[in-house]
Amino acid sequence: MEDKDKQKIKNYAIWLLSRQEYSRKLLSDKILLKGASTTYAEELIEWLSELGYIDDARHCESFLNRQLAKGLGEKRVLMEATKKGVERTLLLQTIEEKEIDWYAIAQQTYDKKYGYANKDLDYQERSKRVRYMMYRGFSYDQIDFAIQAQDEN
């Protein structure tokens, strides 16, 4: 691999990191797709890590904040994390540290989607809403809480 190609890949990696946080794995995958050799990718990732440009804990927190802003539940967040190369133990630790109230997030998500909708639900409409919330990653208890909370308002 020529020095010119190495410099292009290095610039590409820095450009990616200037836009958003990346995990070591995700950045490595992107670098490899650009044509870097495995050894050069490892060297580059290590160099970027030493400079503090890559931090898996920071990436994990950033990822979690993005998922919470989308109104996703814990199950969906954990599923998406595996796709994005976020370390599961690190994510669970971050969730525990933040003391996230999944019931409140479920209620916010439900209110955002169905806040102005009819509150008298027949079986079919209730099932549709439960499926939507389950797809978003909430447990049935959290969904039931959200529906009950809206019925009381």
Average pLDDT score, the chain? 90
pLDDT of residue 69: 94
pLDDT of residue 122: 86
pLDDT of residue 13: 93
Overall fold of domain 3-54: Arc Repressor Mutant, subunit A (1.10.10)
pLDDT of residue 7: 92
pLDDT of residue 153: 67
The pLDDT averaged over each successive group of 10 residues in the chain (153 residues) is: 87 92 89 90 93 90 93 94 87 93 94 81 90 96 91 73
Residue with tokens 């919330």: 133
Task: Tell me the pLDDT tens digit for each residue of 25-47.
Answer: 889 999 999 888 889 999 999 99
Task: Tell me the pLDDT tens digit for each residue of 79-90.
Answer: 999 888 788 999
Residue 121 has φ and ψ, to the nearest 5°, of -100, 130
The domains of the chain are located at 3-54, 57-98, 102-152
Q: Is the pTM of this model over 0.85?
A: no
